């Protein structure tokens, strides 16, 4: 049984997109293009080297954004020092105008990353929808009937609920929290501090709570269904053994076929996990590097500028951190889903 007997067109399309998107980065193929199921040949060293190269690339790319904001903040610091030497009559007005200009720049940058993260999350779910039927069909033909019957609605629930939490709760609340954070910095008093903190916590905690609920649900389902499939398979095997002459030979043949198909199913499952890890890793690095740069910016500029501008940077960094956490939660959720499905379907053979 080789990879030719399984339709891997979904994987081939995904990997073609990966290679085309990072063609300047990936010098050597991670997997054998002639047979993607040769997952044992996955170049893990090359993968980590690519992650390092991509991080360096994002540092150089993000530095242009970092540099423009840094120059503007240095101009503000210089202006504040000059103004303090002369009249402070219009200091409040000028500071308000400068704050608004900085907020507009940072909010435009935040929206850019917001749209990028939303696109990546949609891509995660589309990939799961594309490759899940392949794994599900292999689970079915290897005899894990209960897993097939109940994992399918569970994963459909996962994807639909993820769409809801991302598009209706987490991402909109992250934007609202950032907007209120900027508005709060215009005033001298901290009018919306507690509201902003509450909104940011809801944006992340609801998604984290959903992740914990789904992981618990899938784990419990995994244990019960694996036992049910193993018991059904073992009972059927014992009944077939009582058939004279052909019973034992038939059951031995079935076990051999199921074991062979299980190897193929595990290869497809491992390929799914590797694909999702790669799809998740590069965007996380992109957003993470930008977050590190702007946190560094706040630390560098703090000694020479008013704390009001540092607080504006902190609002931007909080929004970026929420985007990064949301993206990691969704990515890890899908990766864990495939791990649980693989483990559950393999438990049927272990219980025999």
- Residue 80: per-residue pLDDT: 77
- Residue 228: per-residue pLDDT: 54
Q: Name the maximum alpha-carbon separation found in the chain.
A: 106
Q: What is the pTM of this model?
A: 0.83
Tens digits of residue pLDDT in 294-339: 999 888 888 888 888 899 999 999 999 999 999 998 888 888 887 7
User: In whole angstroms, what is the distance from residue 319 CA to residue 107 CA?
Assistant: 10
User: Which residues, including other chains, have CB under 8 Å from residue 147's CB and lie 6 or more apart?
Assistant: 139, 225, 226, 229, 341, 344, 345, 348
Q: Where are the alpha helices (DSSP H) in 22-170?
A: 44-85, 91-141, 145-164
User: In whole angstroms, what is the distance from residue 289 CA to residue 264 CA?
Assistant: 38
Of 347, 351, 345, 333, whose CA–CA distance to 217 is shortest? Answer: 333
- Residue 240: per-residue pLDDT: 57
Q: What is the 3-state secondary structure (H, E, C) of 338-350?
A: HHHHHHHHHHHHH
Residues of the chain with pLDDT under 70: 1-7, 24-36, 84-90, 140-152, 221-262, 344-352
Q: Are the CB atoms for 333 and 211 separated by under 8 Å?
A: yes
Q: Are the CB atoms for 192 and 313 separated by under 8 Å?
A: no
- Residue 348: per-residue pLDDT: 58
- Residue 236: per-residue pLDDT: 59
């Amino acid at each position: 049984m080789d990879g030719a007997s399984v339709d891997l067109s979904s994987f081939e399309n995904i990997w073609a997109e990966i290679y085309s998107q990072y063609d300047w980065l990936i010098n050597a193929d991670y997997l054998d293009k002639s047979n993607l199921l040769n997952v044992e040949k996955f170049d893990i060293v090359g993968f980590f080297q690519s992650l390092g190269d991509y991080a360096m690339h994002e540092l150089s790319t993000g530095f242009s954004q970092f540099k423009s904001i840094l120059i503007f903040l240095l101009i503000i610091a210089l202006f504040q020092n000059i103004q303090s030497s002369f009249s402070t009559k219009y200091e409040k007005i000028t500071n308000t105008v400068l704050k608004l200009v900085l907020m507009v720049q940072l909010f435009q940058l935040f929206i850019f990353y917001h749209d990028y993260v939303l696109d990546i999350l949609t891509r995660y779910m589309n990939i799961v929808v594309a490759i899940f039927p392949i794994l599900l069909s292999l689970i079915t033909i290897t005899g894990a009937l209960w897993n097939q019957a109940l994992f399918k609605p569970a994963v459909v629930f996962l994807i639909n609920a993820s769409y809801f939490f991302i598009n209706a709760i987490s991402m909109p609340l992250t934007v609202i929290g950032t907007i209120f954070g900027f508005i709060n910095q215009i005033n001298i008093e901290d009018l919306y501090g507690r509201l902003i903190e509450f909104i940011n916590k809801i944006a992340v905690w609801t998604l984290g709570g959903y992740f914990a609920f789904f992981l618990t649900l899938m784990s419990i389902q995994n244990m019960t269904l694996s036992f049910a499939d193993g018991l059904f398979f073992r009972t059927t095997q014992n009944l077939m053994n009582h058939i004279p002459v052909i019973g034992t030979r038939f059951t031995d043949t079935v076990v051999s076929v199921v074991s062979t198909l299980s190897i193929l199913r595990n290869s497809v499952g491992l390929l799914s996990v590797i694909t999702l890890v790669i799809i998740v890793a590069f965007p996380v690095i992109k957003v993470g590097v930008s977050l590190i740069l702007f946190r560094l910016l706040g630390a560098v500029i703090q000694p020479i500028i008013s704390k009001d501008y540092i607080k504006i940077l902190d609002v931007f960094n909080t929004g970026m951190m929420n985007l990064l956490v949301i993206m990691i939660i969704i990515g890890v959720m899908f990766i864990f889903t495939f791990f649980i499905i693989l483990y559950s379907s393999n438990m049927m053979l272990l219980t025999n």
